């Protein structure tokens, strides 16, 4: 079975450019999470969706970040304009629709470098 | 106080050793807890859940101390393959599905 799929796996861009990260959750999962991981701050929740609806975006750093989930099988995280401090590994995770189940299935991550 | 705190380590132990990690949490209302494992340059994966009565899975034992608000992970008979970062995880809020991850404790098992 396919797990969570993220693309691209690596992205190198220059400051000021727009960056779009993509995620396909596991089929049948109804919650999707975007995280950012850095050495300094660890794993931080940016935003999460339930049934394609954003539930909590309080972790989104600033207006340069936006996330969408147009359907149950696709989500994007966009950074515009990107800055060097956005360099991190961005993970997408999904969970199935079972009450009380908190296991999150993570994708392999996108390693973003902003020069 | 951070919501979830862990000793970053690294813990360097020889093969066969027993090692324990603790994690403290701030939300006394938290009901469920988890340990995730993250290998170098890989994604986190669920290792085990932590129940009120404790939880044992082979060489791994997880325990909860509600009075002191900490959870622990004990690894017996350490293997080289146990080398990884262990993340303590607490639900962000009761009834919600988001999780708060600790910064992780790095374990290096040496031959």
List the single residue in B46, B92, B101 with the smallest CB-CB distance to A43: B101
Of the candidates B31, B95, B97, B98, the one whose C-alpha atom is nearest the C-alpha of residue B66 is B31
pLDDT of residue A61: 86
Q: Would you call A102 and B97 a contact, using CB atoms and an 8 Å cutoff?
A: yes
Determine which of B6, B43, B85 to mutate to test the interface with A (most A C-beta atoms within 10 Å). B43
Q: Name the band, by pLDDT with cuts 50, 70 and 90, for residue B93.
A: low
Instruction: State how far residue A85 is from chain B, nearest Cα, in angstroms.
Output: 19
Cα Rg, chain A, nearest whole Å: 13
What are the beta bridge partners of residue A88? A112
Instruction: State how far residue B45 is from chain A, nearest Cα, in angstroms.
Output: 7
Query: Which whole number is the average pLDDT over A24-53?
Result: 93
Cβ-Cβ contacts under 8 Å, A95 against chain B: 97
Nearest CA in chain B to A97: B97
Phi and psi at residue B81, in whole multiples of 5°?
A: -70, -10
Determine which of A23, A32, A39, A43 to mutate to test the interface with B (most B C-beta atoms within 10 Å). A43
Nearest CA in chain B to A103: B46
pLDDT of residue A102: 67
Residue A86 DSSP SS3: helix
Lowest mean pLDDT among A88-97, A100-109, B38-47: A100-109
Instruction: State how far residue B101 is from chain A, nearest Cα, in angstroms.
Output: 6
Q: Which helix (DSSP H) or strand (DSSP E) does residue A10 occupy?
A: strand A10-13
Inter-chain Cβ pairs, chain A and chain B, closer than 8 A: 47
Instruction: State how far residue B12 is from chain A, nearest Cα, in angstroms.
Output: 19
Dump pLDDT digits (tens) for A60-102.
988 999 999 999 999 999 999 999 999 999 999 999 887 555 6
Residue B29 DSSP SS3: coil
- For residues A11 and A21, the answer to whether their CB atoms sit within 8 Å is yes
Cβ-Cβ contacts under 8 Å, B89 against chain A: 102
């Amino acid at each position: 079975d396919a797990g969570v799929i993220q693309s691209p796996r690596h992205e190198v861009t220059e400051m000021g450019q727009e960056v779009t990260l993509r995620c396909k959750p596991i089929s049948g999962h109804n919650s999707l999470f975007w995280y950012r991981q850095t050495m300094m701050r660890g794993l931080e929740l940016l935003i999460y969706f339930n049934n394609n609806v954003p539930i909590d975006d309080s972790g989104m750093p600033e207006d340069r970040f936006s996330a969408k989930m147009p359907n149950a099988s696709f989500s994007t995280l966009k950074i515009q304009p990107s800055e060097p401090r956005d360099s991190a590994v961005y993970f997408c995770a999904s969970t199935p629709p079972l009450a009380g189940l908190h296991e999150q299935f993570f994708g392999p991550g996108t390693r973003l470098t902003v020069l | 106080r951070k919501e979830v705190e862990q000793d970053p380590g690294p813990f360097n132990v020889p093969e066969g050793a027993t090692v324990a990690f603790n994690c403290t949490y701030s939300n006394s209302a938290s009901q469920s807890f988890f340990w995730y494992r993250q290998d170098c340059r890989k994604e986190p994966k669920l290792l085990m859940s932590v129940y009120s009565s404790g939880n044992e899975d082979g060489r791994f034992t997880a325990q909860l101390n509600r009075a002191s608000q900490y959870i622990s992970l004990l690894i017996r008979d350490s293997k080289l393959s146990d080398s990884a970062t262990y993340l303590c995880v607490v639900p962000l809020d009761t009834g919600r599905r988001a999780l708060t991850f600790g910064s992780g404790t790095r374990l290096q098992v040496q031959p």
